[in-house]
Structure 1
Amino acid sequence: MKDDNVLEGWEEKDQANLDKKSARRMVWRTRLSIGFTVIRTILLIFLIYIAYMIPVGMYYDMSGKQAEFDRLVTTLVETRYSGVEVNHRYSAHAEINSFLTQSTTLKLYRNVGEWDVVIGEVQAEKHLFGKVSYSLNFDEKYLYENKVRNFAIPPKILGRESSNAESGSKEHLRKQLTKIDEGHVAQAQFSVKTPMKSRALLDKLEAYDIQVYRMPVYGGELTEFETSSHGSGQLTFVQSLLLRPQITYDDKNRHSSSVSPLNKVTIEQSIDQFYEDIKWLTENGNYSGKDIDQKRLKYLRENGIKVYGAVVTGPIREIEKLLDEEQFHQFYLGGVEVWNWYEN
């Protein structure tokens, strides 16, 4: 009986073709196997991430940490940058990622007449063991526009003589306002040559049909401790703490209530809340300038609150009248809008 050799008659090239086909099938099976393994791994990582982030997000919200970060950023901005308000009242904006880095983006606006005019946004971030960092990004309308200006410390505080000469900023603003008709409202800020009690400044401003939204508070800068400053002639400017209308929060750091603007009825509550705000910042925040705020708070508790300027809004003609006040100087215009004012 002859051997039954099924491979008899095959040529070597036929065997080579078969080996190549088998190799290709093996390669594709390997690729598919690796691909499915990668997909399963990615899905597993994604499920683990979801399982991790859901409780983290729930805790971040329910514990009040989310609202706390928004409150922290809002308070830092509104107690330092004149004429700038933060839109934070109606919902929490802060987020947290898998590395426990917190971030938030909040709208910025100005009070111009009765309108809240959006001017940009603040972006803030805090790593788990880092300090809060934030930047104010303004909508630029003009090149090299300075959106925020500091107030001039009264020379008397620094042991200098006060000048009675008209400031260039006052005359410049006077020329601007005379060209604007009565159908407009404006926001403006000015410094005061002599420090005074907040109620005394409100008494002086009561004669004008305006609303007051900020007052710079002297906290011992340059006399009790050093801080960054810049000068212009005999005047020295610093970024001071600002007294704002009272804003209260609940035990979860969510916005509870607010009064606006500053007036004789709201001033005492606003001062009490100012102390609470700075105390809360220094106890709960980790930010640049915290040590200076602690020194300011100590100085204010020992010496009380004295203000040396204001941010106001009202009809153009009322803003123009303020220029005739001898004690007011270093005027700057924050914004102008068409008429939107509830007349008394």
Structure 2
Amino acid sequence: MTNNSDDSREQKLLAYLRGELDEREAKKLEDDVADDEEVTGRLERLLLGEGDGESQTQAAQTLSDEKQRAIIRRGKWKMRLTNSVYTFGIFFLVGAVLLVANGWIGSWMHDDLFRVTKDMVNFTQPGVSTGSSGSQVGVVYGQINMELREQVGAEEQNIGFLESTNFLWSVRAEPKWANGIRETKLFFRYPTDEKMTEEETAYLRTPAWNTMNRLPEGTVSQLAVSFDHPLTYDDYQKLIARHIFAHNAETVWFAIDTGVELKDHDQDGGNLLLSAGEVWGYAERNLDYGNAPIQVNGEGDRRTATFLAEMKYLTEHDRLTRDIGRILVSHQDPKVAERYAYLQEKGVRIYGAVLTGPTKELLKLQAEKSIAAAFLGKVEWWNWDRPGASGMQYSW
């Protein structure tokens, strides 16, 4: 069947070359020649006199040189155009698929990268919260710039931004502090098993109380306090309320016992002091409680459950958490799975907090005997009465 078909096509080509086809048949053959690379090649060989039999050479000689060149040229250009369109179509289709994949995978990566980055700032940087952000995340390369803020009194100050980048599946994060460096003043004393007297821990409190005594009335401050025993969220609120009315100060961060602290750090004469990148905790206002609002005070169980849920999320994204956390946790593995297991077993226990508000109001905590350490952070002029309108302008 195939041989008969080839012979028929061969005879038709020879008839065309001899000029024996009428105009309609000749036009159809020319279209077939343009569409079929194999037919074009065969016709070209016939025109060049290649093949068996004298009749082929004689047939080719019946067409003028110009006609022969025109047939071959037309067929070649049509094939080139067809091939170009076909090639372009393939590249366009592949590009469209990659574009869709880049957008879909990039969006998926962005959600996880953004959430993990925000959590790691929240959990490892006392008193620091995340603000506005800009991002571009794709399959090959992506970047998120997340603003870092610090609250002193009633105002939040920009202290820099955290830049997290991904190249393929490799992710890294790096803080860019506003002045090139962040001065660390907020320290916490971890409650070890070794009991110490008030006199033995006095040097961890006295400088802060003395400085706050000398500061004028019209100032606001940051204060990091540590307790000699762990507290639940509700116990903490009751303790603070004994000295300060709720509207006269605000707790912006809690230091949480995660069991890793004693393993990773050496004690200094019975005192274990931790700061940013070493301590672990959370800012309650940075947790996502869902659609239902949460009360300013109370609902301790709900806050605790939300914190644990976010810790579980980090364990489910262990590789990403480690990549983001290494730069924030003293260039070490943040050990989220180990911390989460400890919190599930022991519960969420608070041993320290960062408060901010009027300096003289915070000074009232000097009377609390369970405070084993107090460190004064930033101090600003009075801003506790919020203005009717305010804002900030950025140069980046």
TM-score surpassing 0.5? yes
1:268-283 to structure 2, matched below 5 A, reads 268-283=301-316
Report how far residue 110 of structure 1 moved.
1.1
2:197 to 163, 170, 176: 163
**Residue 53 and residue 186 in structure 1: after superposition, are their counterparts in 2 closer, same or farther (change >3 A)?**
farther
**1:210 is aligned to 2:249:** yes
2:134 to 93, 111, 114: 93
1:33 is matched with: none
Deviations 1:249-292 (A, max 9, x none): 87xxxxx78768xx532533221110011001110242326672
1:220 to 243, 259, 265: 259
Does the 8 Å contact 2:148/2:162 carry over to 1?
A: yes
- Which is greater in Rg? 2
**1:231 is aligned to 2:267:** yes
**Residue 274 and residue 153 in structure 1: after superposition, are their counterparts in 2 closer, same or farther (change >3 A)?**
same
Report how far residue 70 of structure 1 moved.
1.4
**Residue 120 and residue 310 in structure 1: after superposition, are their counterparts in 2 closer, same or farther (change >3 A)?**
same
**Residue 291 and residue 320 in structure 1: after superposition, are their counterparts in 2 closer, same or farther (change >3 A)?**
closer
1:177-326 to structure 2, matched below 5 A, reads 177-206=212-241, 207-208=243-244, 209-221=248-260, 226-227=263-264, 229-238=265-274, 239-245=278-284, 247-248=287-288, 263-286=296-319, 287-288=321-322, 292-326=335-369
1:114 to 154, 157, 161: 154
1:253 is matched with: none
Write the distance in 2 (CA, Å) between the matches of 1:175 and 1:219: 32
**Residue 50 and residue 182 in structure 1: after superposition, are their counterparts in 2 closer, same or farther (change >3 A)?**
farther
Write the distance in 2 (CA, Å) between the matches of 1:267 and 1:244: 13
Write the distance in 1 (CA, Å) between the matches of 2:268 and 2:293: 37
Write the distance in 1 (CA, Å) between the matches of 2:173 and 2:121: 9
What is the identity percentage for the equivalent residue pairs of Structure 1 and Structure 2?
19
Moved more, 192-201 or 74-83: 192-201
Structure 1: stretches of 5+ with no match in the other structure: 1-46, 251-255
Say which SS state the counterpart of residue 93 (structure 1) adopts: strand
| Amino acid aligned to 1:155 | T
Does the 8 Å contact 2:116/2:314 carry over to 1?
A: yes
2:381 is matched with: 338
Instruction: Find runs of 4+ consecutive structure 1 residues off by over 6 angstroms.
Output: 47-50
Structure 2: stretches of 5+ with no match in the other structure: 1-91, 323-331, 387-396
Moved more, 306-315 or 229-238: 229-238
Report how far residue 178 of structure 1 moved.
2.3
Write the distance in 1 (CA, Å) between the matches of 2:293 and 2:109: 21
Deviations 1:71-92 (A, max 9, x none): 110101101111111114xxx6
Say which SS state the counterpart of residue 162 (structure 1) adopts: coil
Write the distance in 1 (CA, Å) between the matches of 2:148 and 2:167: 23
Say which SS state the counterpart of residue 265 (structure 1) adopts: coil
Q: Aligned-residue CA RMSD in angstroms?
A: 3.2
Write the distance in 2 (CA, Å) between the matches of 1:59 and 1:169: 52
1:146 is matched with: 183
Deviations 1:46-97 (A, max 9, x none): x999867753553256x45323321110101101111111114xxx623225
Does the 8 Å contact 1:106/1:122 carry over to 2?
A: yes
Does the 8 Å contact 2:129/2:283 carry over to 1?
A: no
| Amino acid aligned to 1:275 | L
Report how far residue 109 of structure 1 moved.
0.9
TM-score normalised by the chain length of structure 1 = 0.70
Greater percentage in strand: 1
**Residue 291 and residue 331 in structure 1: after superposition, are their counterparts in 2 closer, same or farther (change >3 A)?**
closer
Does the 8 Å contact 1:245/1:258 carry over to 2?
A: no
